[in-house]
A and B are shown apart, each in its own frame.
Chain A
Amino acid sequence: DAKTTQPNSMESNEEEPVHLPCNHSTISGTDYIHWYRQLPSQGPEYVIHGLTSNVNNRMASLAIAEDRKSSTLILHRATLRDAAVYYCILRSPSGGYQKVTFGTGTKLQVIP
């Protein structure tokens, strides 16, 4: 199964942009890249996902490298509420079944 690698932790100043990287060098052609975040004492929360093209939504942007071996989650203006563990996840539909590979997660600290 494809694996993902993320930095253990990152810091950002409030209202500054944050770029959270994820390496997935063994990604397969059918793997979608998903990002979730987990606030303390809560279940994970969906952030964004994509396959090949860059994606934007109200929460964040996802930049996917041309070779798809890495991606970057971009929070345009970090707020204190964005302090969480961010997980980069590969999901692959395969013959009706899914393979799920989790990254180790990046703990984002937002400094006021």
Chain B
Amino acid sequence: KAGVTQTPRYLIKTRGQQVTLSCSPISGHRSVSWYQQTPGQGLQFLFEYFSETQRNKGNFPGRFSGRQFSNSRSEMNVSTLELGDSALYLCASSLAGGGALDEQFFGPGTRLTVL
């Protein structure tokens, strides 16, 4: 069974631009969560989608948004990029979306650099 895939793996953008990251969950998984990882702040939860609905959102500004498609694939978008948005963005999928009970499977991440 294929794991979680994220595209692109590396991305360089400049301040003010916007970016879209993609995540394909494991086949059959309906929940997709996004995380931001930086050396200073560590791992921070962005949001979770289940069956095309956002179920929870972390403490990030509205510039960060996401969506999930009917095939469970998910995208996250960051608008008006800032230098501080440089980070590793991780996507994780789980079977049923009850993350307290489910094991999450993480992708390798997308490394975003904002210049």
Contact = CB atoms under 8 A, between A and B. Distances in A.
Given A100-B58, A102-B42, A46 B104 contact: yes
A30 interface: yes
Interface in A54-112: 87, 91-93, 96-100, 102, 104-105
A99 B98 CA distance: 11
Contacts of A42: 108
B48 A98 contact: yes
A44 interface: yes
B92 A43 contact: yes
Contacts of B109: 43
Interface residues of B, number: 23
B3 to A, nearest CB: 9
Interface string B100-115: 1101111111000000
A16 interface: no
Interface string A37-56: 00000111110010000000
B45 A100 contact: yes
Interface string B66-98: 000000000000000000000000101000001
B90 A32 contact: no
Given A98-B100, A105-B42, A43 B56 contact: no
Interface of A: 30-32, 36, 42-46, 49, 87, 91-93, 96-100, 102, 104-105
Interface of B: 4, 33, 42-45, 48, 55-56, 58, 90, 92, 98-101, 103-109
- Closest 8 interchain pairs by CB? A43-B106, A100-B45, A91-B100, A32-B100, A46-B103, A97-B56, A93-B100, A102-B43
